[in-house]
Chains A and B, each alone.
Chain A
Amino acid sequence: MNCEECHEREASLHFTKIINGEKTEFHICEHCAKEKGEFLPGSNSFSIHQLLSGLLHGDGHVPNTPSSNFIPPSLSCEKCGMSYYQFAKIGRFGCDNCYKAFESKLNPIFKRVHGGNTLHAGKIPLRAGSSIQEKKQLQQLKQALQQYILNEEFEKAAETRDVIREIEHRLQQGRDT
């Protein structure tokens, strides 16, 4: 097969783009590829971000509910300054706080790229993890405390309150060190 650029040399680089099932193929020789700019393996590809950006825009090909289509122009992250529009365009978050800032928009995106999943089920970091466990425990204890008060089981309520104080104290110390 001859190169599509110069029609002289044998095409040695073959790219296939598949967009919505529509296949586009490019065949060029190394020489022409080089003229088009120094390339590295893998770098000339149609990147995942371009693809993702297409998904995030919901450009007609991806079913979108009317509510998730509406983006208030003011929606942006206060930590890094990235707007939702920028995020949708480049397909990347600017910082960890973007996850909070764009929270209301994220579930449909995660569902699409992670086979319907939106919640983490894997590793929890060791250090941060212990306080996460304690926070969860704290929530449960507070609920129990309410229940004891409602049931007028004041002795148990007092015990639970002490445990809550202890954990809160520990969490506070952890934050200070």
Chain B
Amino acid sequence: MSLERFISDAISPWMKREGPESDIVLSSRVRLARNIHQYVFPIAADKESAHEVISAISTCMSSENEEEAEKLEMLMMEELKPVQKRVLVEKHLISPNLAEQAKYGAVLMNADESVSIMVNEEDHIRIQCLAPGFQLEEVLHRANEIDDFIEKNVDYAFDERRGYLTSCPTNVGTGLRASVMMHLPALVLSKKMSRIIPAINQLGLAVRGIYGEGTEAQGNIFQISNQMTLGKSEEDIMEDLAGVVMQVIQQERAARQQLQDGLKLQLEDKLFRSLGTLENCRIIQSKEAAKCLSDVRLGIDLEILPGISKTILNELMILTQPGFLQQYAGEVLTPEERDIRRATLIRERIKLENR
């Protein structure tokens, strides 16, 4: 398969569009956790009841209203190879938990992969909507539409006092987790991030790395999300998150300006060197690759490195993950082999830019 073809198949179509504030906000995501009243939660479910949940949701999504129901493709976890599941995790379409632990998991996805519905993860239903750039309201609206559509045919586990009942007490109430993926190289470079993170935590929001809970902020990419789900309306949760995100955007822009004003040559040196590394590397570990890609993306946004497309960071951050490298290679690779493959893939991808 040619590299161009591989990339175009590998990258979710929604990622190729550009959204608002896309120089800093890479993507916006909303997740709603829902359960069906008549079945016990996946953690306590036997095979039979888990399969009933899957068939209930798949019939409901493919039901009578063809216009309303978007075409969704369903994948059963037990039928996928480990590398295929890993690729879905790296694309953020399923959670590591669904890939690894869920016994009778399944996922439904739409054609452009901006909607994915996980079945039998920690909860029966996890509706996830993604959009490029800063578009929290839009993704919540989309998720609500799907939620209402499912609710037409399914009795949700809902309590007047506690709201939507979820398996984990941290999700009860709205079941809503909204998150924004941000590229913050200037705040990291000027060492301001270590002060910003505790301040954001104080407001009841979490800051995490690119693959969620417990992961490191590779490539200066941070995920900011709400923690509380009970006692606040969906709109208030979104407003609080959006307010903080707007402030972080302003801080990052100011920090970028400062770097350009005060340390232009040093900055140029750093960014051009990173581009040089990516163009010439023969062996590269994911951490170094992420760092250089972040530099190159900053160079593109500041118009220091002209003629490279903006999507290169989002694309290569995903393509150089172990699952994708192995899928491209068509075989299982050792970490050392991956580092070589990664270098090759990055070099070839950058060559495509220079045509």
Residues of A in contact with B (beta carbons under 8 Å apart): 10, 12-15, 29-31, 34, 38, 40-49, 52, 79-82, 90-96, 99, 106, 109-110, 113-128, 132
Contact = CB atoms under 8 A, between A and B. Distances in A.
Contact of A122 (B166, B204, B233): B233
Contacts of B90: 41
User: Which range contains the number of B residues in contact with the other chain?
Assistant: 35 or more
Contact of A121 (B96, B122, B232): B232
B19 interface: no
Contacts, number: 175
Contacts of A124: 158
A122 B165 contact: no
A41 B168 contact: no
B286 interface: yes
B27 interface: no
Interface string B324-340: 00000000001110000
Nearest to A32: B335
B308 to A, nearest CB: 26
Q: Which residue of B41, B95, B97 has the most chain A CB atoms within 10 A of its CB atom?
A: B41
A29 B158 CA distance: 45
Given A40-B100, A93-B166, 7 more contacts: A14-B216, A48-B168, A48-B213, A121-B232, A123-B144, A127-B152, A128-B156
A95 B212 contact: no
A100 B95 CA distance: 29
Contacts of B82: 38
Interface of B: 35, 37, 39-41, 43-44, 82, 86, 89-90, 95-97, 99-100, 122, 144, 147-148, 151-152, 155-170, 172-174, 176, 204, 210-216, 228-234, 236-237, 285-287, 321, 334-336
A51 B158 CA distance: 26
Given A41-B89, A128-B158, A123 B213 contact: no
A80 B39 CA distance: 9
Given A120-B230, A122-B174, A82 B44 contact: yes
Given A42-B211, A80-B44, A93-B167, A114 B231 contact: yes
B49 to A, nearest CB: 10
B233 A12 contact: no
Given A114-B229, A125-B158, A92 B163 contact: no
B174 A12 contact: no
Nearest to B332: A38
B169 A96 contact: no
A43 B173 contact: no
A42 B161 contact: no
Given A91-B168, A92-B43, A122 B163 contact: yes
A95 B116 CA distance: 23
Contacts of B99: 40
A12 B152 contact: no
A48 to B, nearest CB: 6
A122 B176 contact: yes
Contacts of A42: 89, 95-96, 211-215
Contacts of B230: 110, 113-114, 117-120
A125 B168 contact: no
A48 B160 CA distance: 26
Contact of A120 (B162, B213, B335): B162
Given A94-B44, A120-B159, A43 B151 contact: no
B41 A121 contact: no
A167 B39 CA distance: 29
Contacts of B169: 52, 91-93, 106, 109-110, 113
Contacts of A40: 86, 89, 96, 99-100
Contacts of B157: 95-96
Contacts of B163: 120-123
Given A52-B170, A93-B41, A120-B173, A34 B335 contact: yes
A96 B35 contact: yes
Contact of B173 (A92, A122, A126): A122
A31 B335 contact: yes
B214 A45 contact: yes
22 contacts: A12-B285, A12-B286, A15-B214, A31-B336, A41-B89, A41-B211, A41-B215, A42-B211, A42-B213, A52-B169, A92-B169, A96-B159, A99-B172, A106-B169, A110-B169, A115-B204, A119-B230, A120-B231, A121-B236, A122-B234, A123-B163, A124-B158
